[in-house]
Amino acid sequence: MKKKILAMVLAASMAGALLAGCSSKQEQPSPSETEEPGAPQETGEADDTEASGDLGDPVTLTVTLTAVSTDTHAQAMQKFKETVEELSGGNITVEVYTDAQLFSQEEEVAAVVMGDADLTLTSASWLTTGSPWVSMFTAGYLFNSYDHMTTTLNGEVGKEVFQKISEEQGLFPLGAWYLGSREISLSTDKAVKTPEDLKGVNLRMPNTEAWLFLGEALGANPTPMSFSELYLALQTGSVDGQDNPLGSVESAKFYEVQKSITLTHHLVDSVWPAINNAKWESLSEAQKDIVLKGIEAGREFCDTTNLQKESELVAFFEGEGLSIYEADIPAFQEHVLNYYLESDISNDWDMEMYDKVAEIGQEFVK
């Protein structure tokens, strides 16, 4: 069964993966109304309820981010803040803390679940401990393009995924923002054509089982490390390289201490603005509506900015003296997907949902 799925996914993604970071942006709907308790409600234009200020008691939302303040998704959270505070007329205050000021990357999800913070930007890889089936969304080459990712996660499949996470873990993802397609960056000038070229390479990965497994699947020796420690580790040679979207390489200035980037497009990555369940339920319906409009404003800024950056940054890095290489994408795809489907990690996957994701991907094969 898994072999059949692998063949289907490879067929869907072979053509699309090369365009993973270059697809044109499509307008996506906000999370729509569901009958599930706590699910996001449909949003529209500002209404009389907002204008009249009939929102309920004032509320403050505390946001914790590991991202540096210059990261696009950190700036997108500022866009969220501006939108929410403006639409609420000050009824909702948003306090945004970047650069791991409040919690480390390893602590953020737990902090939101415990109510020590209200919101964060997380991803599938940080949610697999509480929901092992979510590791499906950490698999390399699951999505073949930006359009495939955002249509899936900001559509019906995403609503199902986020509601289930809410029920299992105590925090509720409200959407998916495009982080970028992850590439391999090394501190030496070396082309990474196939997974074999990563043998023995100490590749920094975020410190979760799902992230470390991805590093293994790529063929590297994954080394766990917090994002805030990475620049110094690259500078001193504690690790040989890292994987991040081009936008993160630029904003965190990793290019200053690296010499080459290979475009592997191995993960069309997204971050999920997620709120503490109890905090979400404490909001009035009008406040929820405003929060969701803020989430959509943040998504539009994040997605548009990162897509634009990806179209320009290769030339920028070459101008900074880095060598840019193209990976053998089919070789990576087959190796990585086989690694997942032949391991125990995929035993927890919802294969019916996996099929839905693969089917959506067929729409974006060029």
Local confidence band at 6 (pLDDT 50, 70, 90 cut-offs):
low
Query: Residue 283 is encoded by which pair of tokens?
Result: 């909001």
- pLDDT at residue 20 above 90? no
Local confidence band at 210 (pLDDT 50, 70, 90 cut-offs):
confident
Could you tell me the pTM of the whole model? 0.81
User: Which of helix, strand or coil describes residue 47?
Assistant: coil
CA 173/CA 167 separation, integer angstroms? 11
Query: Comparing 203 with 22, which gets the higher pLDDT?
Result: 203
Task: List, for residues 235-275, the tens digit of each pLDDT value.
Answer: 999 999 999 999 889 989 999 999 999 999 999 999 999 99
Task: List, for residues 134-150, the tens digit of each pLDDT value.
Answer: 999 999 999 999 999 99
CA 19/CA 243 separation, integer angstroms? 18
Give a three-class secondary structure readout of the chain: CHHHHHHHHHHHHCCCHHHCCCCCCCCCCCCCCCCCCCCCCCCCCCCHHHHHCCCCCCEEEEEECCCCCCCHHHHHHHHHHHHHHHHCCCCEEEEEECCCCCCCCCCHHHHHHHCCCCEEEECHHHCCCCCHHHHHHHCCCCCCCHHHHHHHHCCHHHHHHHHHHHHHHCEEECCCEEEEEEEEEECCCCCCCCHHHHCCCEEEECCCHHHHHHHHHCCCEEEECCHHHHHHHHHHCCCCEEEEEHHHHHHCCHHHHCCEEEEEEEEEEEEEEEEEHHHHHHCCHHHHHHHHHHHHHHHHHHHHHHHHHHHHHHHHHHHCCCEEEECCHHHHHHHHHHHHHCCHHHHHCCHHHHHHHHHHHHHHCC
- pLDDT at residue 341 above 60? yes
> Which DSSP string corresponds to 89-152?
TTSEEEEEE-TTSS--TTTHHHHHHHTSSSEEEE-GGGSTTT-GGGGGGGSTTS-SSHHHHHHH
- Residue 51: what pLDDT? 43
Answer for the pair 191, 317: CB distance below 8 angstroms, yes or no: no
Q: Which residues contact 27 (CB under 8 A, 6 or more apart)?
A: none
- Residue in this structure with the two tokens 């072999």, named with its chain if needed: 3
CA 298/CA 77 separation, integer angstroms? 6
Alpha helix stretches (DSSP H) within 170-226: 209-217
Task: List, for residues 90-130, the tens digit of each pLDDT value.
Answer: 999 999 999 999 999 889 999 999 999 999 999 998 999 99
Q: Side chain identity at 269, as an amino acid letter?
A: D
Alpha helix stretches (DSSP H) within 320-363: 329-341, 351-361
- Residue 9: what pLDDT? 52
- Residue 365: what pLDDT? 82
CA 194/CA 254 separation, integer angstroms? 23
Q: Which residues contact 304 (CB under 8 A, 6 or more apart)?
A: 25
